[in-house]
Amino acid sequence: MVSPTASPASSPGIVPGYLLARLAESGRFPQAATAARRTLQTGRPPLRARIDLSIDDTGSLVATLSDAPDRTISDAQNTETLPGTVVRTEDDPPVADVAVNEAFDGLGATFELLLAAFQRRSVDDAGAALQATVHYGVDYDNAFWDGERMVFGDGDGEVFRGFTGSLSVIGHELGHGVVQYTAGLEYRGQSGALNESIADVLGALTEQFTAGETAESASWLIGAGIFTEAVQGVALRSMIAPGTAYDDDELGRDPQPAHMRDFVVTTEDEGGVHINSGIPNRAFALAARELGGFAWERAGVVWYRALTGPLSSTASFVDFADATVSAAEQEYGVDSEVASAVRAAWTTVGVYEDERDRRTG
């Protein structure tokens, strides 16, 4: 039985609840089925939103800004107790545990992307320490942001590998932290799908920035390498081609739509937040490819400006599309190739009916 606070729908994580639910019934992957059931039952702790500030000796509020990451990695030792035992801090050298080092490096890579591309100091733009816990639970098939830290499962070894091995996964989950401290997009329906999509954008950009990949040469995959060789699939999601990331006899086919005509209306997955995120995902990837060069330099700036602008927490796809067009026009000019590429991308995925279209409802 899945607890009321840890249902597949209400447990945001890199692996959608619908995929874990499908896996839980698998006969082909018995070990993974057991792990998926355990993961669904475990869920994740309730979301916490807290900013840690300190008071100095004079009673003044202190927030220290830093241009260098402050990372702490803890080990849950296969329990579900957070944060776990501290095993590596910022000034420590690499340790023998690969997952610890991967988490440490991934947090650093995301920090560098945020700083270099958007001049953002950590997820809260105030130099917040970056914390992560590895080896969470037993065969835990997910990774998630709990409001103040990254948490990684080891996977079941049959279908999923350890989640620290994917830089796009780490960037994605920290991306939820950025959303939390900016627009705070409500995790349901279209605003929830935008929450997931923006996290995917930041995950993809972190991977591309670290590898020095252009928008054209990038794979645009989220979670590449997370599946074992036993699964017919390359990743959890494809931003450039939603619906093509996996097609497996046991797990089914990637359900993400690439166009508004295929928008999925459902009460599951918090109204399809992991499913319908494919539509804005594709819009970003198309805009970035059309503009060429590095995706974080122009398309990324536009999406970031939209996220940090006057955006409602219940924004629809049209609301966000309008925000990106406004950001592009303000940053690069009304008739710029950037604004044109952004409008065209939202038209291609069906959010706009015409390239000149721009709505507010």
* DSSP code for 93: P
CA atoms of 67 and 98, how far apart (whole Å)? 26
- Using alpha carbons only, give the angle 101, 104, 106 rounded to the nearest 5 degrees: 105
Catalytic residue among 102, 148, 158, 173: 173
CA atoms of 73 and 170, how far apart (whole Å)? 13
82, two tokens: 């957070």
The candidate with the shortest Cα–Cα distance to 222, out of 152, 172, 159, is 172
With 0-12 / 13-18 / 19 or more C-beta atoms within 10 angstroms meaning exposed / middle / buried, residue 62 is exposed
CA atoms of 311 and 351, how far apart (whole Å)? 17
Catalytic residue among 135, 172, 176, 274: 274
Question: Residue 173 catalytic?
Answer: yes
Sequence-ordered strand ranges (E) for 269-327? none
Question: Residue 274 catalytic?
Answer: yes
Q: How many CB atoms lie within 10 A of CB 30?
A: 11
Question: From residue 124, how far is each of 82, 127, 258 by CA, in Å?
Answer: 21, 7, 31
- The residues assigned a catalytic role are 173, 274
